[in-house]
Amino acid sequence: MRRMPECRRAGGSHRAIATRCEPIALEFLAVARMLLLAIGLVLSGSWMAARSVEPSIDELASVFTQLADSAEYGTKPRGAARWDSPITLSVVGRPEKDQDAGLRELLERLNRVPNLAFERLPPIAAPPHGGDPTRPLDFTRADVIFQLFMHLPGNDWSVYTVHGERNDVFAWRSRLVIYFAPHAVFVHLAKMQRFDPKLVTEIEAGCVPCAANFFVDPNGHKVRYATVVLRTDVPERTRRRCLNEEVIQALGLVNDARGSPITRFNDRPSSDGTEPTRYDWLFLDVLYDSRLRPGLTGAALRAKARELIAEKLPRLPP
């Protein structure tokens, strides 16, 4: 899950340095600032250099287990979980042009992952009220009254949304629904869909520009449905990273490996890049490999991941 950079400061805003200083103190502060800058550049260079070194199979298996074995928020049961394909998908709201293009690119790439396939479905006007299903819902304010998930035959889901302004009722017969909405609507959707209370608090504060909510069947460790909410009123770079991160994590890589340069799902500031790393695509390939049994956890999951990574890593594109 992505957080806005301004929400990462511990203890609130920093106090300003007093301006009434002796000359020697000012000189000391200037030297100290230069020293800190030099240390920061060295550390940054070391971290970037570390990224260029191929991680070991054990490191990759460890990060994969962190991502797949538990959830950052919510009550997902322990153990690897994934979807059955094809995954039906619908888009709600009005994405920015870059978000719409980015989603098409992402789905094209995801459809190349073995055992993953997506089918994008349009909304259907639902009786008795109906409405124009070709007209996208313009979420300019929090006027969605309720949303109802209904289980349908064939492990499919229907998502009904009542739009308060027009009293239209729409149905998305999809298991994965992606919402594009401004901040006020994001807050409303998070509460309506009963996101984790801690996450709702961060969303209300404007610290979280995107999030995903999903349901995992604890018996079969299958993801049954998920919703992804992406803010439209944030910078383009944030929109791009949010799209990639939340959609991929909703597929089963649901946790963050904090600080890891191996994965984009590391809870680092958005300046760290927007695209999934080559190893993120490897992790998806491992997760959806039929030889990895859903529900594996801990050491058993790490051992199986290590076996599959050792086989797939030599063939991984640069």
Q: Out of 47-61, 98-112, 264-278, 292-306, which region has the weakest mean confidence (pLDDT)?
A: 47-61
Domain annotation for the chain: domains and CATH numbers? 56-122+176-315 (3.40.390.10)
CB burial class (10 A; 0-12, 13-18, 19+) of residue 197? exposed
Residue 212 CA to residue 306 CA, distance in Å, equals: 28
Report d(CA 153, CA 217) in Å as an integer. 16
Q: Give the angle subtended at the CA of 30 by the CAs of 29 and 32, to the nearest 5°.
A: 60
pLDDT exceeds 70 at position 193: yes
Instruction: Quote the percentage of the chain above a pLDDT of 90.
Output: 40
- The confidence score (pLDDT) of residue 20 equals 29
The CA distance from 169 to 163, in Å, is 7
**What's the confidence (pLDDT) of residue 243?**
96
The C-alpha atoms of residue 113 and residue 131 are separated, in whole angstroms, by 36
For residue 99, what pLDDT is reported?
Answer: 96
pLDDT at 153 over 60: no
Question: What's the pLDDT at 78?
Answer: 78
Distance CA 298, CA 280 (A): 19
**pLDDT tens profile 12-46:** 322 222 222 334 444 444 545 555 555 554 444 44
Instruction: Tell me what the pLDDT averaged over the chain comes to.
Output: 75
Higher pLDDT, 186 or 313: 313
Please report the pLDDT score of residue 71 as a whole number: 61
- Could you tell me which of 125, 210, 200 has the C-alpha nearest to residue 163? 125
d(CA 237, CA 245): 12
pLDDT at residue 111, as a whole number: 94
Whether a cis peptide bond, with omega within 30° of 0, leads into 86 is yes
Q: 137 near 277, Cβ under 8 Å?
A: no
Residues 6+ apart with CB under 8 A from 1: 72, 73, 199, 208, 210, 211, 212, 245, 246, 249, 256, 267
pLDDT at 244: 95
Among 112-121, 151-160, 260-269, top mean pLDDT goes to: 112-121
Model pLDDT, residue 166: 46
Q: Which residue has the higher pLDDT, 297 or 129?
A: 297
Q: Does 127 have pLDDT greater than 50?
A: no
Q: Measured between alpha carbons, how far is 290 from 86 in angstroms, rounded to an integer?
A: 15
Whether the pLDDT of residue 292 is over 70: the answer is yes
Which of 60-64, 82-86, 138-142, 222-226 has the least mean pLDDT?
A: 138-142
Q: Of the ranges 248-252, 266-270, 271-275, 293-297, which one carries the lowest mean pLDDT score? A: 266-270
Which pLDDT belongs to residue 155?
A: 41
Q: Looking at residue 163, what is its pLDDT? A: 46
Helix, coil or strand: residue 176: strand
